[in-house]
């Protein structure tokens, strides 16, 4: 990623966090979505309602301004992707030199299509730092059904790695924290068995529930298979045996200073994950007739 793009992501992240939205840069390469944002109900609790963000960063995007509007030109493949994305999507243009960020919601009524491209006009008054009320409107339109669907859509990149059996997750549970604090580290394994860290995130808000209960709900689309080879090579065998006696399906491989339990597992797609991937593929590429059925007159 070029330096101007990196600057843009940092500036946009700061703006969202200042507005009270958690900013999650996409850990897995996703065609056309740079981040997911989610409003906070409190410091440790999120709403679960997500919005996709595409960021275009650079002074060049602001060179042609007419009637206080910037025109962004895009390719049709991006349009199709954004319009059919499982989450609402906003486009953010960022001028790093002037710390200026403007935005618009991607929707058919905002876009003009041509034979090969499309364009959208973004008003310079649409400052990103003033976007919170509009984002809340997008969020409030999401039902619990959409909230769960959005969560699965956000995890699609991880599902693809799990489908290839290349996804490895390490979790560190701070067992004495009433917030349920946990450090989540997502890794990808290559064909040689080497793992590369994709991203790490500290998450709060699980409360006092043990992680043996929490983790299957964090990854509802997967069966969590312990990395037994890693447990055998790097685990505290005495602690592992102690945990096994509790008849747990998921248990840590070691404990640090009676403060942190360490887990390591490999998510494998379950029926929910497999079904979502099939549905996602159909929604993107499947064919069907759109027939309207109404009452006979």
Taking only the tens of pLDDT, the chain with its 297 residues reads 567 778 888 999 999 999 999 888 875 555 568 888 888 887 767 777 788 899 999 999 998 889 999 999 988 777 777 877 777 889 999 999 888 999 999 988 899 988 788 999 999 999 999 999 999 888 777 777 877 887 888 788 899 999 999 999 999 999 998 888 899 999 999 988 899 998 888 887 787 888 998 999 899 999 999 999 999 999 999 999 999 999 888 999 999 999 999 999 999 999 999 999 999 888 777 787 777 766 665
* Dist CA 204 CA 181 (whole Å): 5
Q: Are residues 139 and 165 in the same domain?
A: no
- The domain total for the chain is 2
Residue 150 lies in a domain: no
pTM of the model: 0.67
* Domain boundary pick from 116, 143, 170: 143
Contacts 24+ apart (CB under 8 A), 253-257: 253/226, 255/175
Residue 253 lies in a domain: yes
Residue 50 lies in a domain: yes
Q: Are residues 128 and 191 in the same domain?
A: no
Q: Are residues 137 and 161 in the same domain?
A: no
Backbone angles phi, psi at 8, to 5 degrees: -60, -45
Residue 285 lies in a domain: no
Q: Are residues 135 and 201 in the same domain?
A: no
Q: Are residues 196 and 268 in the same domain?
A: yes
Q: Are residues 96 and 24 in the same domain?
A: yes
* Dist CA 120 CA 114 (whole Å): 11
> How far is CA 163 from its chain centroid?
18
Residue 148 lies in a domain: no
* Dist CA 257 CA 110 (whole Å): 56
Q: Are residues 160 and 136 in the same domain?
A: no
Residue 87 lies in a domain: yes
Q: Are residues 206 and 249 in the same domain?
A: yes
Q: What CATH number is given to the structural domain containing 120?
A: 3.40.1350.10
Q: Which domain holds residue 81?
A: 3-143
């Amino acid at each position: 990623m070029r330096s101007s793009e990196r600057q843009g992501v940092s500036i946009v992240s700061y703006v969202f966090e200042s507005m009270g939205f958690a900013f999650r840069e996409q850990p897995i390469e996703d065609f056309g979505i740079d981040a997911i944002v989610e409003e906070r109900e409190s410091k440790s609790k999120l709403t679960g309602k997500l919005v996709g963000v595409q960021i275009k960063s650079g002074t060049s995007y602001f060179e042609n301004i007419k009637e206080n509007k910037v025109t962004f030109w895009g390719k049709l493949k991006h349009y199709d992707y954004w319009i059919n994305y499982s989450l609402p999507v906003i486009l953010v243009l960022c001028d790093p030199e002037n710390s200026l960020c403007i935005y618009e919601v991607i929707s058919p009524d905002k876009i003009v299509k041509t034979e090969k491209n499309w364009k959208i006009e973004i008003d310079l008054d649409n400052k990103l730092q003033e976007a919170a009320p509009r984002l809340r409107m997008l969020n409030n339109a999401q039902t619990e059904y959409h909230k769960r669907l959005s969560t699965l859509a956000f995890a699609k990149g991880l599902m693809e790695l799990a489908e290839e059996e290349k996804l490895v997750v390490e979790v560190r549970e701070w067992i004495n924290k009433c917030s349920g604090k946990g450090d989540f580290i997502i890794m990808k394994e290559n064909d040689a068995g080497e793992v590369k860290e994709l991203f790490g995130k500290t998450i709060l808000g699980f409360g006092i529930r043990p992680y043996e209960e929490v983790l299957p709900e964090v990854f509802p689309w997967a069966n969590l298979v312990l990395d037994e080879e890693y447990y055998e090579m790097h685990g505290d065998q005495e602690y592992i045996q102690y945990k096994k006696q509790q008849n747990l399906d998921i248990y840590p491989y070691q404990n640090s200073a009676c403060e942190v339990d360490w887990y390591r597992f490999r998510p494998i797609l379950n029926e929910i994950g497999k079904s979502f991937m099939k549905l996602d593929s159909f929604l993107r590429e499947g064919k069907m007739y759109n027939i309207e059925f109404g009452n006979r007159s």
